[in-house]
Amino acid sequence: MRVIIGYGNKLRGEDGFGVDVIEVLQKRKLVDTKLISVMQLTPELTLELLAATHIIFVDTAFSQTDHYALACAMEIQNGAALSHHIAPQTIRMFLRLLYAKNPDFEIISMLSSNFDEIPNKRSYKRSLNAVVAYLS
């Protein structure tokens, strides 16, 4: 089973990109796909991923340049300093070390530096459509 996790805060401008992607995908009736929309990644999310063979994280990643570009942002910004939210890589570690699960992983990040509003709605929509098309 494929699991797509869109995460972010819709009250924080372009940070809600992952959640918006999930909202569109929910209307597509994708086969063998579980859609999860969350504000942040938390340890217990691991339990919802035990049956997954392929996990795709959709998020917004901070970048001073390349706004609205799609990328795979792998930088762990909170790593071992674990707070109440964790990185996709940490979820992967939970799955591998605690539950002997090793599904395929993808990270799709829309680059942005604006977490107050969506200044360019057209570019935002273009990025959203591109991700939705890729995942559909």
Partner 1 sequence: MKKIIIDPVTRIEGHAKITIDVDANNRISDAKIHVTQFRGFEKFCEGQIYSQMPALTARTCGICPVSHAISSIKACDILLGVTPPQAGINLRKIINLAQILQSHTLSFFHLSSPDFIYGFDAKKEDRNIFKMMQTHPQMAKDGIMLRAFGQKVIQTLGGKRIHPDGLVPGGVEQNLDTQTKNTLLLEIPNAIKIAEETLIFFKNNLAKFEKEIDSFGVFPSLFMALVDENGNLEHYDGKLKIIDSEGNVLQENISPQHYKEFIGEAVEAESYLKSPYYKPFGYPQGMYRVGALARLNIAKACGTPKADKELLAFKALNAGKPVLNSFYYHYARLIEMLYALEKIELLLKDETTMGEALHRTSKILKTQAVGCSEAPRGTLFHDYEVDTNGIIQKVNLIIATGNNNLAMNAGLKQVAQTFINAEDVSEGALNRVEALIRCFDPCLSCSTHALGIVSSNIELKDHNKNIIQIFKRN
> Which range, of 24-32, 50-58, 97-105, 125-133, touches partner 1 by CB under 8 A?
97-105
Q: Calculate the alpha carbon distances from 110 to 30, 46, 51, 63, 81 in Å.
A: 22, 23, 27, 9, 24
| Residues 135, 57: Cα–Cα separation, whole Å | 11
> Which range, of 44-52, 63-71, 102-110, 120-128, touches partner 1 by CB under 8 A?
44-52
Of 46, 2, 49, 6, nearest to 24 by C-alpha is 6
Q: Which of 30, 36, 43, 67 binds partner 1 (CB under 8 A)?
A: 43
| Residues 76, 120: Cα–Cα separation, whole Å | 27
DSSP output for 9-37: -TTSGGGGHHHHHHHHHTTS--TTEEEEE
Q: Does 51 bind partner 1 (CB under 8 A)?
A: no
**Residues written for the chain:** 136
Tokens matching residue 102: 């090793």
Q: Does 105 bind partner 1 (CB under 8 A)?
A: no
Beta carbon nearer to partner 1, 28 or 66? 66
Beta carbon nearer to partner 1, 72 or 98? 98
Q: Which of 50, 98, 126, 134 binds partner 1 (CB under 8 A)?
A: 98
- Closest approach of partner 1 to the CB of residue 31, in Å: 26
Q: Does 80 bind partner 1 (CB under 8 A)?
A: yes
Q: Which of 36, 85, 105, 123 binds partner 1 (CB under 8 A)?
A: 85
